[in-house]
């Protein structure tokens, strides 16, 4: 029997089509039932019809359903994939506008000038908990796959409060290691590597190609080819001068979103002014502008494809694996096809030494019918652990304490941890102005 897969927040056509494409390319999962759930009926209808057309074009048998009722969609689920964004990008940017006027900058500002801003995370964590409570009632044996941000705060909070639920956080940021391999002209299929850390803060500690250490090749590339690469790549590139400087500083390589705008442009000292940013070929503001424009263009593309029943979807989305982890993990867990995949789970047995046991860490996982068995990593250099503790673990603990206790004072303390906060008055003003924005009635009630 094939599994029943429920996607919460399925109104993102790009995400849902990507997942359907991976299902179509996985013979074991042929015959699966996929339930698309979203509160926006118009977007849901577009996604449902596009995915149905795609599966037909590829010739894979999938049973597709759609619902605006979350509890109905969860009935009998074997896997629940949560990709929902409870507060849209317009709310994020409204808050950023307020923060900029108060002196906050993009660059190391992980809970203000980032897409995991505290006023976005509030709605996300509340939604995560509501979904998990429904799962415990309606499909208690299901696996909960959290794809939506914030993965670090979300899995940390949920695993502390609901340890009985089978859950994992998934993010494709680690796949930046494949970008590095492509630049070094290495075959991805012949790589082995270790990239431990916490979500959006992971570091390449070991990498081999055909059993040979890749770091000497990386050193040669930095010395001989990197300057030419920088002339042609975009700013805020994950292999840019900033990444190389961090590698020189710590001896391990920042991967994926670790130092790019997607992970908050950590650390702050490369972003103290526009002049400093130019020295490092950094432009987080431009990066985010391009990101939002890309998203808007994809929405238009999907609308056009949905309106044209004669359009061949496989011409626009060729049947090629996306590289995302969700479908391979479902195949491993349901059909006992062992694979080592990267995911976020509690650090219960010090899979990343030096980090707290109740914090979610991103590590290799052996996935099979037995479940997910985290791999003990060799850890990270002491200075990297110290930065993670200060810049990732401590603020997440403060944020979750503020959320759990509904404490306005702890929320202010979270903002005081931001590298661009210069006074208590500045932090208090930001919190007050965010809470006063239209659409934040629930958050105002929660914290007052």
Contact 37, 77 (CB under 8 A): no
Query: Cα–Cα distance between 126 and 122 in angstroms, integer?
Result: 6
Contact 297, 38 (CB under 8 A): no
- Tokens 């009985």 sit at which residue? 164
Contact 352, 377 (CB under 8 A): yes
Contact 261, 236 (CB under 8 A): yes
- Tokens 């503790």 sit at which residue? 389
Query: Cα–Cα distance between 253 and 183 in angstroms, integer?
Result: 15
Closest CA to 20 of 367, 307, 314: 314
Query: Cα–Cα distance between 118 and 123 in angstroms, integer?
Result: 9
Binding residues for Mn(2+): 171, 200
145-157 burial: b if 16+ Cβ within 10 Å, else e: bbbbbbbbbbbbb
Please state whether the peptide bond connecting residue 267 to the residue before it is cis, i.e. omega within 30 degrees of 0.
Answer: yes
Binding residues: 93, 149, 171, 200
231 by Cβ neighbours in 10 Å (0-12 / 13-18 / 19+) ranks as: exposed
Q: Which residues are catalytic?
A: 172, 257
Under 8 Å CB-to-CB from 134, ≥6 apart: which residues?
A: 70, 71, 74
Q: The tokens of 137 are what?
A: 């009632």
């Amino acid at each position: 029997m094939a599994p029943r897969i429920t996607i919460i927040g399925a109104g993102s056509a790009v995400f849902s089509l990507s997942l359907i494409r991976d299902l179509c390319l996985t013979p074991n999962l042929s015959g699966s039932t996929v339930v698309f759930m979203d509160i926006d009926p118009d977007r849901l209808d577009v996604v449902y019809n596009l995915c149905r057309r795609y599966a037909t074009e590829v010739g894979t048998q999938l049973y597709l359903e759609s619902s605006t009722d979350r509890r109905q969609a969860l009935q009998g689920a074997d896997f629940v994939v949560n990709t929902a964004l409870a507060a849209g990008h317009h709310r994020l940017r409204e808050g950023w506008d307020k923060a900029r006027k108060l002196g906050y900058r993009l660059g190391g500002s992980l809970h203000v000038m980032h897409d995991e801003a505290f006023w976005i995370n509030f709605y996300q964590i509340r939604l995560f908990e509501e979904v998990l409570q429904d799962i415990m009632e309606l499909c208690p044996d299901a696996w909960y796959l959290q794809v939506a941000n914030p993965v670090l705060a979300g899995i940390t909070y949920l695993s502390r409060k609901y340890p009985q639920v089978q859950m994992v956080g998934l993010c494709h940021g680690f796949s930046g290691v494949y970008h590095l391999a492509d630049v070094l002209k290495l075959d991805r299929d012949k790589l082995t590597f270790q990239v431990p850390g916490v979500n959006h803060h992971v570091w390449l500690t070991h990498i081999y190609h055909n059993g040979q250490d890749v770091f000497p090749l990386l050193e040669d590339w930095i010395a001989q080819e990197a300057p030419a690469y920088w002339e042609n790549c975009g700013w805020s590139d994950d292999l840019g001068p900033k990444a190389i400087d961090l590698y020189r500083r710590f001896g391990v390589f920042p991967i994926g979103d670790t130092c790019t705008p997607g992970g908050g442009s950590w650390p702050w000292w490369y972003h103290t002014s526009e002049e400093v940013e130019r020295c490092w070929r950094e432009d987080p503001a431009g990066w985010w502008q391009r990101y939002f424009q890309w998203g808007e263009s994809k929405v238009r593309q999907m609308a056009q494809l949905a309106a044209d029943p004669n359009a061949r979807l496989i011409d626009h989305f060729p049947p090629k694996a996306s590289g995302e982890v969700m479908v391979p993990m479902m195949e491993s867990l349901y059909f006992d096809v062992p694979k080592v995949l990267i995911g976020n789970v509690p650090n219960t047995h010090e899979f990343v030494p030096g980090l707290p046991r109740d914090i979610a860490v991103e590590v290799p996982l052996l996935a099979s019918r037995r479940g997910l068995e985290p791999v003990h990593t060799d850890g990270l250099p002491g200075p990297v652990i110290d930065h993670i503790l200060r810049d990732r673990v401590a603020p997440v603990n403060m944020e979750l304490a503020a959320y759990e206790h509904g404490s306005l004072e702890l929320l202010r303390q979270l903002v005081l941890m931001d590298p661009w906060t210069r006074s208590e008055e500045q932090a208090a003003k930001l919190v007050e102005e965010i809470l006063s924005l239209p659409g934040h009635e629930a958050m105002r009630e929660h914290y007052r």
